[in-house]
């Protein structure tokens, strides 16, 4: 029974990760060079209490990526992955999911 719950949770996280990425792709990105010389693509979106952040490291073969969703100052979704699959997932269900869906329907900025 626990295995099914874990699989459902993993699928839920996978589907939730898709929505913020679609929102972030409509925003402007920044290319950052960190002090250690690595390059990062950085996307950010904020709307009232919702904050989305996505970073993808460019200079590494496995292309590590990290998505963070914060709602009202609390981290509610964190997902990290490489080309090989997930490396970290954390999810707290709540009202923020409805806010995220509403933001997905917002028109893209000019």
Q: What is the pLDDT of residues 28-50, one digit of tens each?
A: 889 999 898 889 999 999 989 99
DSSP 8-state assignment for residue 106: S
pTM: predicted TM-score of the whole model, two decimal places:
0.83
Q: What is the pLDDT of residues 72-91, one digit of tens each?
A: 999 999 999 998 888 998 98
User: C-alpha distances in angstroms, 92 versus 33, 58, 60, 65?
Assistant: 32, 29, 30, 20
């Amino acid at each position: 029974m626990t295995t099914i719950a874990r699989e459902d949770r993993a699928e839920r996280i996978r589907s939730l990760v898709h929505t913020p990425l679609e929102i972030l792709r409509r925003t402007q990105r920044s290319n950052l060079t960190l002090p250690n010389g690595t390059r990062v693509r950085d996307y950010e979106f904020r709307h009232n209490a919702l904050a989305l952040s996505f970073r993808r490291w460019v200079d590494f073969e496995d292309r590590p990526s990290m998505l963070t969703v914060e709602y009202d100052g609390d981290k509610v979704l964190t997902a990290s992955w490489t080309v090989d699959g997930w490396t970290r997932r954390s999810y707290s269900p709540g009202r923020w999911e409805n806010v995220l869906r509403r933001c997905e329907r917002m028109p893209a900025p000019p």
